[in-house]
Homo-oligomer: A and B are copies of this chain.
Amino acid sequence: MKKILTCLIICCTVLRIRAENGHELWLRPRTALPVRVICERSSPALAIARRELEDGWVGKADASVVLAFTKDRAIKGDGFRLGQRGIEAKTDAGILYGVYELLRRQQTGLPISEEVCNPSYERRILDHWDNPDGSIERGYAGGSIFWRKSNPFAITDGDKVLWQQYARADASVGINGAVLNNVNASPLILSTDYLARVKAIADILRPYGIRTYLSVRFSSPVQIGGLTTADPLDPGVENWWKEKIKDIYQLIPDFGGFLVKANSEGQPGPQDYGRSHADGANMMADAIRPFGGIIMWRAFVYKASDKDRAKQAYAEFTPLDGQFRDNVIIQVKNGPVDFQPREPFSPLFGAMKKTDVMPEFQVTQEYLGQAVHLVFLAPMWEECLKSDTWQGGPGSTVAHCTDGSLYPQRYTAIAGVANIGLDSNWCGHPFAQANWYAFGRLAWNNRLTSGQIADEWLRLTFYPIQRQRKEPAGYQADWETHFLQPVREMMLRSREAAVNYMMPLGLHHLFSANEHYGPGPWWAPQKVRPDWTPPYYHKADTGGIGFDRTNTGSDAVSQYHEPLRSQFNSLFTCPDMYLLWFHHLPWSYRMRSGRTLWQELCYHYEEGVRQVREFQNIWDKVRPYVDDERFVLVQSKLRSQSSNAQLWKDACLQYFGQFSRQPIPPDIERPVHDLDDIIRDDTMRR
């Protein structure tokens, strides 16, 4: 039926726009002009650089581009200098990144001026939560591109092509690392058969400058090593890791290191043996140090018994500051709870002054509508990176606290949990590709704005390819006015819309059950630990709503540096967007808007629904500028998003309305679902 629809509807454009399934991402084939590439050296990476230029050159025909190596100290790591003559860099990867930057500027119409571009983070890593059986935890775009269930060790030409396409896309935005498996790691990943496959993948990624990493299970020595303990201070354990690491480096000499989730959500860890996170991380760090590897140790820890989950990572890790080896880097999620639509930044940023710290963002939209909702995440990451921690005085943004500009770090790194799967368009939702793109771009340059990134991505991904040569005069200006501007606006407003229709005003974790998609502020089965249920977070009752984290509550505010501590603690200065994160307030609380808290909540949910409807309108209007395949897919997903938004609003307002005991203001559209029905349908799905 969708095909019929697609076929029947006549495109209003002058020229037919080529159907696109999105597999080409932002790297769509161009009709290139001739170019002469001059490079004194040769290597697999340089060969790629040359081919990219030849295949994608849309600059002056028959121009010459020089790819040159330099010792210029202005260029750091894999950075490069862009100039009229070409690209200078210190490394092969630097040349490659320069080529991609040059082509991007050509294709987006940006000026190419003399400029040095250095990466903000040395390691820009995608964490794939892919399981050896081919499934992906929190993956919404099909199975794993790395692993599969049947015939798991066969490596086909198709696999190799896909891995290469993946590597190219990563490199084109500056990503230089990939953790190939889930942080909830199977010990099997360190078995000989799996390591052989890891090596095959690493060999494909390497020419694109991408290092391979693995997540490891702390108890691997017991589970696949036959030892009786995984105690990090046990010499047998230490030895097992050393041997295993040696094996890995024999296969993959540039192996990046390990990512470890330990003593978190049921994962084994050093605390099982009475040891600290530092003991565990350092043992591994020592074992991998001779090979140049690093240990990324996650700070995402919390216990069911604690009264405020938001405090726990800080409480557990700050006492260990200074105790970690210099090849350990603590991986900290952007917020103190768990990738919610909005959280304040984690207080660990800037607090561990003697320890390398790396931010972990979630590219896959676990809590943001998965592959259904159009939510551009760059604004969320930008909000976090630009948050001032005050840990080193004013201007100590999360970006500065992690990129080495505030504290010396042996390593700087940033991780994004990937949203990539076997779907032909990689990410499930065409606009979810923008989040992959944005993560890479921000990892390279953490000063970029969301608007710049959206602009680039839209130009690369949606400017009609067929038109390059024969478009009518004025077409580009028309496209910019009628497609680029409204769609960019939609992207930039999309995250705030999601916050509005899901959990505004600092509310968080209102999801039903474990799939983290639909609303479930009521969801609290007896068997489930309280800190995995929404009532733990919203604390709504007839007295009010919100989590009191002030100094008379859980005192989580004290984990923030002044003046934030006081700012968050006081109702007069706490920003509305964090209000119910830090405060439990009566329903009649008078907001700055003049509305009561209850009314304000209603207006936010309503606003969210209206915003998505407006996105639908925006998208429907750009039909003449988009190929049918992507147009229809996005249109369909926006419809689902719109009805989901309505469901969120209906569920939350009716659920909280039981406590507020106040009606929904009359100028707000009425619910179309009964709360009873929503709960029943939700329960039936379990």
A residues at B contact (CB < 8 Å):
1-2, 4-5, 8-10, 542, 613, 616-617, 620-621, 623, 636, 638-640, 642-643, 646, 650, 654, 657-659, 661, 663-664, 666, 669-676, 679
A542 to B4, CA, bound (A): 13
- A657 contacts which chain B residues (CB < 8 A)? 5, 9
Contact B670 A617 (CB under 8 A): yes
How many copies of this chain does the complex contain?
Answer: 2
Say whether, besides A9-B661, A661-B9, A638 and B670 are in contact (CB < 8 Å). yes
Q: How far is the CB of A592 from chain B (nearest CB, A)?
A: 27
A642 to B4, CA, bound (A): 29
- A2 contacts which chain B residues (CB < 8 A)? 674-676
Q: Which residue of B lies closest to A670 (CB)?
A: B616
Known: A617-B670, A620-B670, A642-B670. 14 other contacts (CB 8 A): A1-B679, A2-B674, A8-B661, A9-B658, A10-B661, A617-B666, A620-B666, A636-B676, A638-B670, A639-B671, A639-B672, A639-B674, A640-B674, A643-B672
A500 to B654, CA, bound (A): 29
Q: How far is the CB of A200 from chain B (nearest CB, A)?
A: 39
- A674 contacts which chain B residues (CB < 8 A)? 2, 636, 639-640
- A642 contacts which chain B residues (CB < 8 A)? 670, 672
- A640 contacts which chain B residues (CB < 8 A)? 672, 674
Instruction: Name, among A8, A621, A650, A679, the residue most crowded by chain B CB atoms within 10 Å (CB to CB).
Output: A8
Contact A639 B676 (CB under 8 A): no
Q: How far is the CB of A466 from chain B (nearest CB, A)?
A: 22
A674 to B5, CA, bound (A): 11
Q: How far is the CB of A196 from chain B (nearest CB, A)?
A: 43
- A671 contacts which chain B residues (CB < 8 A)? 639
Contact A658 B616 (CB under 8 A): no
Contact B1 A675 (CB under 8 A): yes
The secondary-structure label for the interface of chain A is helix
- A679 contacts which chain B residues (CB < 8 A)? 1
A640 to B623, CA, bound (A): 32
Say whether, besides A638-B670, A672-B643, A672-B646, A664 and B620 are in contact (CB < 8 Å). yes
Q: How far is the CB of A32 from chain B (nearest CB, A)?
A: 36
- A659 contacts which chain B residues (CB < 8 A)? 8
Q: Which residue of B lies closest to A620 (CB)?
A: B670
Q: Which residue of B lies closest to A673 (CB)?
A: B639
A601 to B234, CA, bound (A): 77
Q: How far is the CB of A681 from chain B (nearest CB, A)?
A: 13
A47 to B613, CA, bound (A): 63
A676 to B639, CA, bound (A): 12
A675 to B623, CA, bound (A): 18
A636 to B677, CA, bound (A): 10
Q: Which residue of B lies closest to A636 (CB)?
A: B674
A623 to B1, CA, bound (A): 44
The 10 A-B pairs with the shortest beta carbon distances in the complex, nearest first, are A616-B670, A643-B672, A642-B672, A1-B676, A636-B674, A639-B672, A8-B658, A2-B676, A10-B661, A639-B671
Contact A620 B676 (CB under 8 A): no
18 contacts between A and B (CB under 8 A): A1-B675, A1-B676, A1-B679, A2-B675, A2-B676, A4-B658, A8-B661, A9-B661, A9-B663, A616-B670, A617-B670, A621-B666, A636-B674, A636-B676, A639-B670, A639-B673, A640-B674, A642-B672
- A621 contacts which chain B residues (CB < 8 A)? 666
- A636 contacts which chain B residues (CB < 8 A)? 674, 676
Q: Which residue of B lies closest to A639 (CB)?
A: B672
- A670 contacts which chain B residues (CB < 8 A)? 613, 616-617, 620, 638-639, 642
Contact B663 A623 (CB under 8 A): yes
A72 to B189, CA, bound (A): 103
A616 to B670, CA, bound (A): 6
Q: Which residue of B lies closest to A632 (CB)?
A: B674
Q: Which residue of B lies closest to A679 (CB)?
A: B1
A650 to B672, CA, bound (A): 15
- A4 contacts which chain B residues (CB < 8 A)? 658
A520 to B149, CA, bound (A): 41
Q: Which residue of B lies closest to A12 (CB)?
A: B663
Contact B639 A5 (CB under 8 A): no
Q: Which residue of B lies closest to A667 (CB)?
A: B617
A616 to B659, CA, bound (A): 22
Say whether, besides A620-B664, A620-B666, A663-B623, A643 and B673 are in contact (CB < 8 Å). yes
A621 to B664, CA, bound (A): 10
A617 to B666, CA, bound (A): 7
A671 to B2, CA, bound (A): 15
A661 to B671, CA, bound (A): 33
Instruction: Name, among A5, A639, A664, A670, the residue most crowded by chain B CB atoms within 10 Å (CB to CB).
Output: A670
Q: Which residue of B lies closest to A1 (CB)?
A: B676
Say whether, besides A661-B10, A674-B636, A674-B639, A669 and B5 are in contact (CB < 8 Å). no
Q: How far is the CB of A373 from chain B (nearest CB, A)?
A: 13
Contact B5 A658 (CB under 8 A): yes
- A658 contacts which chain B residues (CB < 8 A)? 4-5, 8-9
Instruction: Name, among A5, A616, A646, A657, the residue most crowded by chain B CB atoms within 10 Å (CB to CB).
Output: A5
- A675 contacts which chain B residues (CB < 8 A)? 1-2, 5
Q: Which residue of B lies closest to A658 (CB)?
A: B8
Q: How far is the CB of A8 from chain B (nearest CB, A)?
A: 5
A8 to B578, CA, bound (A): 28
Q: How far is the CB of A316 from chain B (nearest CB, A)?
A: 39
Q: How far is the CB of A624 from chain B (nearest CB, A)?
A: 10
A661 to B657, CA, bound (A): 44
- A620 contacts which chain B residues (CB < 8 A)? 663-664, 666, 670
- A638 contacts which chain B residues (CB < 8 A)? 670
